[in-house]
Structure 1
């Protein structure tokens, strides 16, 4: 996985030649809650890193809570001396940042592929799963879809406001799927799509979704699953920046309005062997059934990954196309695991449960772990929704219940890593407890 320094050095020098006004580059990585952390490097120092100088950041930056604080997790953070850990530059990700007020660049960094990777870093967790699949001759092809909302830039008493239609100056407060919404908000949407492409992201279809100010972006299918997750992470960062530039807020919050649909992260996955044959189509799609069974078996034990916060769990309340039980079906958007209609070459699953603000590396790692488990155990799935509308198994919808279901589960610990599972579950538990440490206005209204 290591990239020769000459290749990285050539990338940095080509960037400097193409963007001579850029003086600084943000070196960024995703932490456990799905936020970027990192350092802003002078571009000449980046050239030294590309040439082989060490790149070190605190190991425990990965452990930050949703609000950026550190939690005591085992001996991490407060009893380990807060050590540094090596990171490496991710080749091909050095790109210009166009939404800031000054010329800037950004580049992904990671501990995976270093001599001592951080076991609980999200990208490293996914890299381990992919390496195990590769060792078995299994090669995933992946595509993400992300839903998000646009809001007015200004909040009203801390609450989001509907975005203003730039043509009429009225609020876009009507839920619809109309194509005209794409035209009315074309300036910001086109900039988002172009900025994504400038970041190397293969962004494709844009859809106006049901919620007011809600949209969806699709990405191309990639045979580099790590890069597919990189695209999802980087798109969230650039989209927020572009929205602010146009006078809006963009949010991937799972359930910003109780009365309107939430925002999801849909992940399409197909599996191929070394000769390019679709493994899911083998034996009259029997492997597909085994893969589905594995996904559904692990799903209730990976809920802290698919719904990583209190608000994300709200999304699972039975609104449009949001599953309330672990289920599957052919061409059925009410299912957690949907099988889109396709020819055998492109047969795939669409995993629809994760919220848009989930960590894409961990979501994909959990999905692949489920597929792998199903192919190994070769069990039959429950009935599809097409045959039985009541088919499905329950999954936890409260965070502490979800953590209790995930942490001791043997298969989850074996496939995602025991150290990661312990760290992640404690991070979610501490975030949940911190969320409870505030008395809101409703509590006073009900009980004062």
Structure 2
């Protein structure tokens, strides 16, 4: 603990030397729906926290709904006195915020690694999965890919408008994969990439996607799963901020347009032993097949994680590369679990089902739980799509069905934690019901 405090203190002091104009730092963590919450600390108080002073925030902040409200979940929220819970600073995450009008810093905080971690905190859920795998001699290497849309900064009666081409001032309303779009939006995209790098995120490939104003950005592979998920979470925050600075609105909403492709979170995962050998490639890739079978078995029971809201279910099916059944295949983007072509050293799975607005900590935890279960059960998977285009197993396509499928599945409860599963499912159920409590214009057109 003393060693960690000295490291954190040195990090804060170095930051103050390099950024003398920064007076405040946002201490942030991701809640269950994938939004950041936290507190804005004076920089001099941050030194005290780094030196060992307690850092406490309400435990129930993790349980916020999508709109920020609290739901009655068991004894939490309204029958527990709203207690504080300890958090700690995440080393290496203190970075400048360049998209605000005033100099500012930000730093991740978490309950994992404290004396009493919050069992349902997303980062803690992933930390426990990674710790269990490490004890088994399994070391994941992870890379995220995130798709997002650019819209005009101004909404039209609450509805998004196509992003304006900075060169022509026309709406970018044509679906295409043209690389020219990268050039036309280079100013904002370059700023997004540089800002991410300033946050310590390894940005690699930038792609113009099919939807109008849609892009994808890939991150480098990491042998630290927590850090990989940190990157995905922090990238979403900085990208939204940079877009607003340039007169755009960046959104990771899963399905902003019914007629165009949705935005996904693709996760590449390979597994290695302590000597650096790829576990999936051993024994003529038999462990790969087992891991795929485990992923597909748990996938229908993790749908509230992969599709965390009503809109995310709209993304599934009906457009390019979005599955409606649990499937797998070699070099097949219609599959939920794709096996990219690679040499044995880099053999991996690409999990393609999660929506871009899913919680990256929970998505990775669910994927790793599926891989772990498959390696333990050693079952053969169903036929790949390369052999049978109709291969696949059904999964829920509506939130309440998905919650029911998740809550009582014994393997999911064991791998992700029973307390987390109960809390998460009730949060999603309440959020979904709250979303339904509004009569929209279409209902009046149909039924008035």
**Bin of the TM-score, shorter chain as denominator length:** over 0.9
**Contact 1:306–1:353 (8 Å) recurs in 2:** yes
1:176–1:263 distance in 2 versus 1, CA, 3 Å:
same
1:125–1:2 distance in 2 versus 1, CA, 3 Å:
farther
Q: Give distance in 2, aligned partners of 1:438 and 1:308.
A: 19
SS of the aligned residue for 1:5 comes to helix
Shift of 1:369: 0.1
Listed one character per residue, the Cα deviations across residues 57-84 of structure 1 (whole Å, up to 9, x for unaligned) are 0000000000000000000000000000
1:2–1:92 distance in 2 versus 1, CA, 3 Å:
farther
1:3–1:363 distance in 2 versus 1, CA, 3 Å:
farther
Shift of 1:443: 0.6
SS of the aligned residue for 2:393 comes to coil
Structure 1 residue aligned with 2:80: 80
| TM-score of the pair, normalised by structure 2 | 0.99
1:394–1:173 distance in 2 versus 1, CA, 3 Å:
same
Structure 2 residue aligned with 1:301: 301
Q: Give distance in 1, aligned partners of 2:183 and 2:371.
A: 39
Listed one character per residue, the Cα deviations across residues 315-355 of structure 1 (whole Å, up to 9, x for unaligned) are 00331000110000000000000000000000000000000
Q: Give distance in 1, aligned partners of 2:159 and 2:437.
A: 20
1:373–1:2 distance in 2 versus 1, CA, 3 Å:
farther
Q: Give distance in 2, aligned partners of 1:353 and 1:335.
A: 8
Q: Give distance in 2, aligned partners of 1:11 and 1:318.
A: 49
Listed one character per residue, the Cα deviations across residues 109-146 of structure 1 (whole Å, up to 9, x for unaligned) are 00000000000000000000000000000000000000
Corresponding position: 1:189 with 2:189: yes
Q: Give distance in 2, aligned partners of 1:315 and 1:263.
A: 8
- 4+ residue stretches of structure 1 with deviation over 6 A? none
Structure 2 residue aligned with 1:92: 92
Unaligned runs of 5+ in 2: none
Shift of 1:44: 0.2
Shift of 1:3: 6.0
Q: Give distance in 2, aligned partners of 1:309 and 1:179.
A: 32
SS of the aligned residue for 1:4 comes to helix
**Contact 1:2–1:114 (8 Å) recurs in 2:** no
Q: Give distance in 1, aligned partners of 2:263 and 2:325.
A: 17
Shift of 1:91: 0.2
Shift of 1:89: 0.1
1:325–1:245 distance in 2 versus 1, CA, 3 Å:
same
SS of the aligned residue for 2:326 comes to coil
Q: Give distance in 1, aligned partners of 2:366 and 2:115.
A: 24
Structure 1 residue aligned with 2:21: 21
Q: Give distance in 2, aligned partners of 1:241 and 1:218.
A: 19
**Contact 1:137–1:273 (8 Å) recurs in 2:** yes
SS of the aligned residue for 1:102 comes to coil
**Contact 1:97–1:103 (8 Å) recurs in 2:** yes
Q: Give distance in 2, aligned partners of 1:285 and 1:317.
A: 30
**Contact 1:120–1:423 (8 Å) recurs in 2:** yes
Listed one character per residue, the Cα deviations across residues 352-371 of structure 1 (whole Å, up to 9, x for unaligned) are 00000000000000000000
Q: Give distance in 1, aligned partners of 2:24 and 2:13.
A: 14
**Contact 1:300–1:394 (8 Å) recurs in 2:** yes
Listed one character per residue, the Cα deviations across residues 380-409 of structure 1 (whole Å, up to 9, x for unaligned) are 000000000000000000000000000000
Listed one character per residue, the Cα deviations across residues 227-283 of structure 1 (whole Å, up to 9, x for unaligned) are 000000000000000000000000000000000000000000000000000000000
**Contact 1:151–1:162 (8 Å) recurs in 2:** yes
**Contact 1:2–1:113 (8 Å) recurs in 2:** no
Shift of 1:2: 9.0
Q: Give distance in 2, aligned partners of 1:3 and 1:268.
A: 33
Corresponding position: 1:442 with 2:442: yes
**Contact 1:3–1:91 (8 Å) recurs in 2:** no
Aligned residues: 448
SS of the aligned residue for 2:69 comes to coil
Shift of 1:376: 0.1
Q: Give distance in 2, aligned partners of 1:162 and 1:318.
A: 22
Q: Give distance in 2, aligned partners of 1:284 and 1:384.
A: 17
Q: Give distance in 2, aligned partners of 1:25 and 1:50.
A: 13
1:82–1:292 distance in 2 versus 1, CA, 3 Å:
same
Bigger Cα displacement from structure 2, 358-367 vs 318-327: 318-327
Q: Give distance in 2, aligned partners of 1:179 and 1:21.
A: 39
**Contact 1:289–1:381 (8 Å) recurs in 2:** yes
Shift of 1:4: 1.4
Q: How does 1:248-259 map to 2 (within 5 A)?
A: 248-259=248-259
1:264–1:2 distance in 2 versus 1, CA, 3 Å:
farther
Listed one character per residue, the Cα deviations across residues 10-34 of structure 1 (whole Å, up to 9, x for unaligned) are 0000000000000000000000000
Q: Give distance in 2, aligned partners of 1:300 and 1:3.
A: 43
1:442–1:149 distance in 2 versus 1, CA, 3 Å:
same
Listed one character per residue, the Cα deviations across residues 86-109 of structure 1 (whole Å, up to 9, x for unaligned) are 000000000000000000000000
SS of the aligned residue for 2:26 comes to strand
Q: Give distance in 2, aligned partners of 1:356 and 1:350.
A: 15
| TM-score of the pair, normalised by structure 1 | 0.99
Unaligned runs of 5+ in 1: none
Q: Give distance in 2, aligned partners of 1:225 and 1:366.
A: 12
Q: Give distance in 2, aligned partners of 1:116 and 1:310.
A: 33
